A and B are shown apart, each in its own frame.
Chain A
Amino acid sequence: MRKILVPIKRVIDYAQKIRVDPSKGAQGVQLKNVKMSMNPFCEIAVEEAIQLKEQNKGAEVVAISVGPKQCTETIRTALAMGADRGIHIETKPDVRGDYIDLQPWAIATLLKGVVEKEDAVDLVLLGKQSIDSDCGQTGPLLAGLLNAPQATFAANIERGDDGSFTVERETDTGTETIKLNASGKPAVITCDLRLNTPRYPTMPNIMKAKKKPVETISLEDMVKELGLDLDEVLTPKHEVVEVYEPPPRKEGETVGSIDELLGKLKERGLVA
């Protein structure tokens, strides 16, 4: 194996209470002074990449992130887990990654450029979705743009000696196993929860991570380098119309008998 590319996203930490400011309309989700972390599914992707690297000597794991200056910290976490180097496509501080400004199409377009520029990428591992926008589109879009084989919601990944990948996919109706044949294009696989348990970076690895190279390039420069159009990349294809907190849980209803309960369930179409 030569290179494994792992795109990672810096998002609001999963344990944080999300606050919505209704006066800010579509931009209502508060990002100021909120703890940010690596998207949990991206962590799983990084862990899988490192495990594959450990099984395939000589493979290089490259972590890449698109976002503001602080993304280098997120990349450092990936390096501390065991990634070899990082690429940071730096955006201006007011550019939002949570579906307001940067959307999957833009990210996938940038990633396609990076894959082609890097060359020798055998595998792109992504989280199945990010926990802020929950789109789940970046992986499939990237595969489409690259005309590459893809498998989503991976719960298990095995690499064959011929360079193929056998992936167990979690679906709503059960598990499906598909084989991505070696094709000269990188396999694009998105990772689901049960794929692995990401390791905690150890102190010695955190320290080694400080010395690993991270290439920082501004979004504008990267777009130019890849021969793309900045407006095209930055203009969102979708507009967020409204953001609101879910309504508070309503009180339940007490019923007097089993018959009444059955009646209510039938009424609501919950029982035939």
Chain B
Amino acid sequence: SETFNSELFRKFGSQNGGLGILGLTAPDEFGGTGLPDATAVSIVHEELSYSDPALCLSYLAHSILLVNNLAVNANDEQLARFMPGICDGSKIGGMCMSEPNAGTDVLGMKSNAVYDSARDGFILNGTKMWITNGTLTGKETGDLFLVYARTGTEKRSDITQFVVEAGMEGFNVGQKITDKLGMRSSPTAELVFENVFLPAKTHVVGDVNGATLCMMRNLEIERVALAAMAVGIARRSLDEMIAYASNRPAFGKSSLFSFGQIQKHISESYAEYMAGKCYLYAMANGLDLSAYGNGLDADGVKLYCATMAKNVADRAIQVMGGYGYCGEYTVERLWRDAKLLEIGGGTNESHHKNMARDLHKLDG
């Protein structure tokens, strides 16, 4: 069955001769690998997802949503304090944005942080939902999270980004989300914040009420990473269906490649996969992680690749028939895992909204 392999995950860190990819984009003077490169990010996500999209999702939540966000938005003091642990594999965490009643409508979030001048800190209250790595054990929270909360009521965008650490009073797991369709070996949780105190000098990332900037700077690479996951899923599905079809005789023919419907499944999957892969890497090759404003193609590549991966995995199950339906043959898991990519990190609908807005703007 599919469970989170935290031992393997920690080997992605840089300690004890580990792979050193948890801090892929983080500066090496703070313990990262010093490769702020969207192509590298894409390659890693594609390859991990070729084998286990769920483990890759936890990797993405940690390395992109947490580590990269901090690397781009935190000050030197925060980097020195938080970065080493999340790069070496000792601390695992993620990012909290969505809530039980606000997903695509990000700025509709109700979690709030009120400034207490007597203690020079913020009191955080609220609930966050669908948090990858929210809990590793099911009981305790993950180690470190970036949390978005409302800190002003004047504008919808009066949001601030905070760092919340495991063990802080009032910070708990609401529930571990079980029985998901896919991404089962990635732990998902609801996290609850009850009067959690966050010192203003150390646990506010970026400016107060300035978190939309932090968000914008990270969403593009997040979408590229998710698109790369889709490409990995599609590539694996293709390899599996081609290998199966090559070795399965039927109706007196030595392989399924003699049959038109199978030819159609395989060739269409290949062309769609290549289109997605080329869009991804064309986009990634030109993406500067420290800038923003490339949202259109970040949304576009995820929108295209997510659905593409789902379709290719679906065709793989079909080509493999009864075997495709069984867990042992991998593709059914890829199909279930692929579906998440049309929802997490931006629903298809959110991409429609963003892209239409951007294209309308371009039209002047």
Measured between beta carbons, the chain B residues less than 8 angstroms from A200 are: 19
Q: Which residue of B lies closest to A201 (CB)?
A: B19
Q: Which residue of B lies closest to A199 (CB)?
A: B17
Interface secondary structure of A, over-half rule: helix
Least CB distance, B131 to chain A, in whole angstroms? 26
Measured between beta carbons, the chain A residues less than 8 angstroms from B28 are: 204
Least CB distance, B9 to chain A, in whole angstroms? 15
A205 to B28 alpha-carbon distance, docked (Å)? 12
Measured between beta carbons, the chain B residues less than 8 angstroms from A205 are: 20
6 A–B contact pairs at CB < 8 A? A200-B19, A202-B17, A203-B20, A204-B20, A205-B20, A207-B34
Interface secondary structure of B, over-half rule: loop
**Contact surface of B with A, Cβ cutoff 8 Å:** 14, 17-21, 24, 28, 33-35
A168 to B82 alpha-carbon distance, docked (Å)? 48
Measured between beta carbons, the chain A residues less than 8 angstroms from B18 are: 202
Which 6 A-B pairs rank lowest in CB-CB distance, beginning with the nearest? A203-B20, A202-B20, A204-B20, A203-B33, A203-B21, A204-B33
A182 to B207 alpha-carbon distance, docked (Å)? 67
**Contact surface of A with B, Cβ cutoff 8 Å:** 199-200, 202-205, 207
Measured between beta carbons, the chain B residues less than 8 angstroms from A207 are: 33-35
A204 to B18 alpha-carbon distance, docked (Å)? 10
Measured between beta carbons, the chain A residues less than 8 angstroms from B35 are: 203, 207
Least CB distance, B8 to chain A, in whole angstroms? 13
A166 to B331 alpha-carbon distance, docked (Å)? 51
Which one of A200, A203, A205 has the highest number of Cβ atoms from chain B below 10 Å of its Cβ?
A: A203
Q: Which residue of B lies closest to A205 (CB)?
A: B20
- Extra A-B contacts (4), CB below 8 Å, given A204-B14, A204-B33: A200-B19, A202-B20, A203-B19, A205-B20
A200 to B8 alpha-carbon distance, docked (Å)? 14
Q: Which residue of B lies closest to A204 (CB)?
A: B20
Least CB distance, B289 to chain A, in whole angstroms? 16
Q: Which residue of B lies closest to A202 (CB)?
A: B20
Q: Which residue of B lies closest to A200 (CB)?
A: B19
Measured between beta carbons, the chain B residues less than 8 angstroms from A199 are: 17
Measured between beta carbons, the chain A residues less than 8 angstroms from B24 are: 203
A203 to B34 alpha-carbon distance, docked (Å)? 10
* Contact, CB under 8 Å: A202 / B14: yes
Measured between beta carbons, the chain A residues less than 8 angstroms from B14 are: 202, 204
Which one of A200, A204, A205 has the highest number of Cβ atoms from chain B below 10 Å of its Cβ?
A: A204
Q: Which residue of B lies closest to A203 (CB)?
A: B20
Least CB distance, B312 to chain A, in whole angstroms? 22
Measured between beta carbons, the chain A residues less than 8 angstroms from B20 are: 202-205
Measured between beta carbons, the chain A residues less than 8 angstroms from B21 are: 203
A205 to B21 alpha-carbon distance, docked (Å)? 11
Least CB distance, A46 to chain B, in whole angstroms? 16
Least CB distance, A104 to chain B, in whole angstroms? 35
Measured between beta carbons, the chain B residues less than 8 angstroms from A202 are: 14, 17-20
Which one of A199, A200, A205, A207 has the highest number of Cβ atoms from chain B below 10 Å of its Cβ?
A: A207
Q: Which residue of A lies closest to B28 (CB)?
A: A204
Least CB distance, A16 to chain B, in whole angstroms? 14
A142 to B174 alpha-carbon distance, docked (Å)? 68
Least CB distance, B47 to chain A, in whole angstroms? 12
Least CB distance, A204 to chain B, in whole angstroms? 5
Least CB distance, B236 to chain A, in whole angstroms? 16
A203 to B28 alpha-carbon distance, docked (Å)? 12
A224 to B37 alpha-carbon distance, docked (Å)? 42
A236 to B157 alpha-carbon distance, docked (Å)? 74
Least CB distance, A13 to chain B, in whole angstroms? 15
Least CB distance, A230 to chain B, in whole angstroms? 40
Q: Which residue of A lies closest to B18 (CB)?
A: A202
A205 to B34 alpha-carbon distance, docked (Å)? 11
Measured between beta carbons, the chain B residues less than 8 angstroms from A203 are: 19-21, 24, 33, 35
A203 to B24 alpha-carbon distance, docked (Å)? 8
Measured between beta carbons, the chain A residues less than 8 angstroms from B19 are: 200, 202-203
Least CB distance, B278 to chain A, in whole angstroms? 19
A200 to B28 alpha-carbon distance, docked (Å)? 20
A204 to B19 alpha-carbon distance, docked (Å)? 8
Measured between beta carbons, the chain B residues less than 8 angstroms from A204 are: 14, 20, 28, 33-34
A146 to B34 alpha-carbon distance, docked (Å)? 44
A237 to B253 alpha-carbon distance, docked (Å)? 46
A199 to B20 alpha-carbon distance, docked (Å)? 14
A204 to B33 alpha-carbon distance, docked (Å)? 5
A205 to B14 alpha-carbon distance, docked (Å)? 11
A199 to B11 alpha-carbon distance, docked (Å)? 13
A200 to B24 alpha-carbon distance, docked (Å)? 17
A200 to B34 alpha-carbon distance, docked (Å)? 19
A203 to B22 alpha-carbon distance, docked (Å)? 10
A202 to B28 alpha-carbon distance, docked (Å)? 14
